[in-house]
Structure 1
Amino acid sequence: MVETLNNKQMLAILEFSTDGIYVVDSNGMTLFVNQAYEQITGFSREQLVGRHMKDLIQDDFIDQSVSLNVLHEKKKISLLQTIAHTKEVIVTGNPVLAEDGTIEMVVTSVRDVTQLNSLQKDLSKANTFSKMQNYRYTFTTDEEDNRFLFRDIQMKKIYDKVTQIAPFPTSVLLTGPSGVGKEVIANLIHDFSDRKDQPFIKVNCGAIPENLLESEFFGYEAGAFTGASRQGKLGLLELANNGTIMLDEIGEMPIQLQVKLLRALQEKKIRRIGGTADISVNIRVIGATNQDIGNLISQGKFREDLYYRISVIELRIPALSERKEDIELLVDHYFEYYCQRYKIQKVLSSEVKRSLIQYRWPGNVRELKNIMENLVTSVFESTIEPYHLPYQLQQIENGPTSNLKSRLEQLEKRIVNEAMANHSSLRQAAKSLGIDHTTLVKKLQRWKHGDWKHGDGSRASE
Structure 2
Amino acid sequence: MNETQLDPELWKSIFFSLHNGVIVMDKNRKILSINPSAKKLLQIENENWVGKEIKVLIPETKLPETLTEGYSSIGQKMMIASRQCIVNRTPLYQNGKRIGAIGVIQDISEMEYYRNLSKQMESIIEFSTDGVYVVNSAGITIFVNSAYEEITGLHRDQLIGNHMSKLMEKGFIDQSVSLLVLQQKKRISIIQTIKGKKDVIVTGNPVFDEAGEIEMVVTSVRDITHLNQMKLELEKAKSFSHMANHRYTFQTENANQTIVFRSPRMKEVYGKIQQVAPFPTSILLTGQTGVGKEVIANLIHNLSDRKEKPFIKINCGAIPEQLLESELFGYEPGAFTGAKQDGKIGLLELANGGTVMLDEIGEMPLLLQVKLLRVLQEKQIYRIGGTTPRNLDIRFISATNQELTQLINKGRFREDLYYRLKVVEIHIPPLTEREEDIEELIHYFFSYYCDLYHIEKQLAKETVAILKTYSWPGNVRELRNLMENMVVSIPTAIIEPHHLPLHIYDHHHASPETPFTLKQRLEQFEKRMVKEALQKNKSIRKASQQLGIDHSTLVKKIKKWNMNTDNSC
TM-score (norm 1): 0.61
> SS state of the match for residue 314, structure 2?
strand
- The C-alpha deviation readout for 1:83-126, integer Å capped at 9, x for no partner, is xxxxxxxxxxxxxxxxxxxxxxxxxxxxxxxxxxxxxxxxxxxx
Q: In structure 2, how many angstroms separate the alpha carbons of the residues matched to 1:341 and 1:444? A: 38
Q: 2:252 aligns with which of 131, 136, 140?
A: 140
Does 2:250 correspond to 1:165?
no
Report which structure shows greater RCO (CA 8 Å, sep ≥6). 1
Q: In structure 2, how many angstroms separate the alpha carbons of the residues matched to 1:264 and 1:295? A: 24
> SS state of the match for residue 173, structure 1?
strand
Q: Could you tell me how far 1:180 is from its partner in structure 2?
A: 0.7
2:282–2:397 contact (8 Å) kept in structure 1: yes
Q: In structure 1, how many angstroms separate the alpha carbons of the residues matched to 2:521 and 2:483? A: 23
> SS state of the match for residue 381, structure 1?
coil
Q: 1:266 aligns with which of 362, 365, 377?
A: 377
Q: In structure 2, how many angstroms separate the alpha carbons of the residues matched to 1:274 and 1:202? A: 24
Q: Could you tell me how far 1:179 is from its partner in structure 2?
A: 0.7
Query: Quick one: structure 1 residues 406 and 205, their matched pair in 2 at CA, closer, same or farther if it must change by over 3 Å?
Result: closer
2:470–2:508 contact (8 Å) kept in structure 1: no
> SS state of the match for residue 454, structure 2?
coil
Q: In structure 1, how many angstroms separate the alpha carbons of the residues matched to 2:337 and 2:264? A: 55
Does 2:544 correspond to 1:433?
no
Q: 1:230 aligns with which of 330, 336, 341?
A: 341
Does 2:264 correspond to 1:150?
no
> SS state of the match for residue 245, structure 1?
strand
- The C-alpha deviation readout for 1:304-326, integer Å capped at 9, x for no partner, is 11011110001111111100110
Query: Quick one: structure 1 residues 378 and 267, their matched pair in 2 at CA, closer, same or farther if it must change by over 3 Å?
Result: same
Q: Residue type matched to 1:284 in 2?
A: R
Does 2:300 correspond to 1:186?
no
> SS state of the match for residue 314, structure 1?
strand
Q: Residue type matched to 1:204 in 2?
A: N
- The C-alpha deviation readout for 1:400-452, integer Å capped at 9, x for no partner, is 499999987743342246779999x999975452125798799999966889x
Does 2:496 correspond to 1:385?
yes
2:502–2:525 contact (8 Å) kept in structure 1: no
Q: Report the structure number with the largest CA radius of gyration.
A: 2
> SS state of the match for residue 260, structure 2?
coil
Superposition CA RMSD, Å: 3.4
> SS state of the match for residue 291, structure 1?
coil
1:387–1:410 contact (8 Å) kept in structure 2: no
| Alignment gaps of 5+ in structure 1 | 1-138, 452-462
Runs of 4+ off more than 3 Å:
141-144, 399-410, 416-423, 425-432, 436-451
Q: Could you tell me how far 1:161 is from its partner in structure 2?
A: 0.9
Does 2:473 correspond to 1:359?
no
1:387–1:411 contact (8 Å) kept in structure 2: no
Identity fraction in percent: 59
TM-score (norm 2): 0.50
Q: In structure 2, how many angstroms separate the alpha carbons of the residues matched to 1:220 and 1:142? A: 29
Q: Could you tell me how far 1:215 is from its partner in structure 2?
A: 0.3
1:213 match: 324
1:414 match: 528
> SS state of the match for residue 148, structure 1?
strand
- The C-alpha deviation readout for 1:279-320, integer Å capped at 9, x for no partner, is 111000001001001111111100011011110001111111
Q: 2:461 aligns with which of 336, 350, 353?
A: 350
Q: In structure 1, how many angstroms separate the alpha carbons of the residues matched to 2:321 and 2:534? A: 48
Q: In structure 2, how many angstroms separate the alpha carbons of the residues matched to 1:442 and 1:154? A: 50
Query: Quick one: structure 1 residues 449 and 380, their matched pair in 2 at CA, closer, same or farther if it must change by over 3 Å?
Result: farther
2:498–2:528 contact (8 Å) kept in structure 1: yes
Q: In structure 2, how many angstroms separate the alpha carbons of the residues matched to 1:402 and 1:238? A: 55
Please say which of residues 382-391 and 294-303 is displaced more in the overlay.
382-391
Q: Could you tell me how far 1:204 is from its partner in structure 2?
A: 0.7
Q: Residue type matched to 1:289 in 2?
A: T
> SS state of the match for residue 345, structure 2?
coil
- Equivalences for residues 316-327 of structure 1 within 5 A: 316-327=427-438
1:171–1:286 contact (8 Å) kept in structure 2: yes
Q: In structure 2, how many angstroms separate the alpha carbons of the residues matched to 1:338 and 1:284? A: 34
> SS state of the match for residue 259, structure 2?
coil
Q: In structure 1, how many angstroms separate the alpha carbons of the residues matched to 2:382 and 2:417? A: 19
